[in-house]
Amino acid sequence: MLADLSTYSLQDFLLFDAAIYRDLFAQIDGRYWPIPVVGVAAALVLLALAARRHRVAAPGSLVLLAAAFATSAWLFFLDVYATINWAAVYPGWAFLAEAALLLMAAFILGNRPVPRRPHLSRWFGPGAVLVLYGLFGHPLAGFLFGHEPGGLEWFTLAPDPTAIVAIGLLAIVIRRRWLSVVLAALPLGWLLASAATLWLLVASGEALLLAALAMFGLVVLLLPNRRPAGTASDSPLPAIVPRDEIAPSQNVAATLVPTSPLGTGTRRD
């Protein structure tokens, strides 16, 4: 019996092949096509607000991502994917938990005053690259890999572009690095899990691309929080200079002012 098991590979334990897996995206695109259009438009608006450093960008992005994760969980994992893979319910519930976590973060950040930054953060550029790739580049890459135009993966429906856009937006709008890493932990983990699935489905090019995107997203999230030299502070209040740093300049100015003769006790007639 053990000798018989040694003749199997990991691909033999999958319950589906690449063609069946790709057909899932054609099914959800055909049933729920208007949803990706709304999601892509909303993501572009929020990206523009983040570029203008608008206070609505952070909570709005978190609410949009929560809706995208919930939609992908219900319409992909718990619906079409569960018909060919009984284990699909587990990432589905994980995506729903991520949606709840994002809503909590949106509520907390929405009730806190956020000072307006005088300049774009260093995470905006690479974060915007991830967002735009997830919205447009990932569907185009699927087309280049030979997928049918009616079965491309789109943000809010397919989990891969949803995770990619989430990592990019979280890197841009969340100022606290530890919080952005915590919120992006599940999207990063899913990209690696999806890459492993595609590798077993003998889609090595797509698998390596997803793994590279996950690594790039992690690097972006872990960029140190350093303010460029010569830029203003993020605080809306003026900087307070200690008194002992001001005193020397006052003493020097006092020595340059000549003392009045009246102050030395002499009398002018």
Residue pLDDT, tens place only, 252-263: 444 445 555 554
Does residue 240 have a pLDDT over 90?
no
For the chain, what is the mean pLDDT? 83
Contact 60, 66 (CB under 8 A): no
User: What ranges do the domains of the chain cover?
Assistant: 14-112+119-221
What is the per-residue pLDDT for 122?
77
Q: Judge contact between 180 and 135, C-beta under 8 A.
A: no
Contact 163, 187 (CB under 8 A): yes
pLDDT at 102 over 50: yes
- Spatial distance between the Cα atoms of 74 and 88, rounded to a whole number of angstroms: 11
Q: How confident is the model at residue 121 (pLDDT cuts 50, 70, 90)?
A: confident
Cβ contact 168:134 at 8 Å: yes
Percent of the chain whose predicted confidence (pLDDT) is above 90: 63
**How large is the average pLDDT for residues 186-203?**
94
In the predicted structure, residue 119 carries a pLDDT above the cut 70: no
Q: Take residue 31 and report the two structure tokens written for it.
A: 């049933």
d(CA 161, CA 64) in angstroms, rounded, equals 14
Q: At what angle do helices 34-51 and 57-72 cross, to 10 degrees?
A: 160
- Assign 236 a pLDDT band (cuts: 50, 70, 90): very low
Using DSSP's 3-state secondary structure scheme, residue 128 falls into helix
pTM of the model: 0.80
- Encode pLDDT of 48-70 as tens digits: 999 988 889 999 999 999 999 99
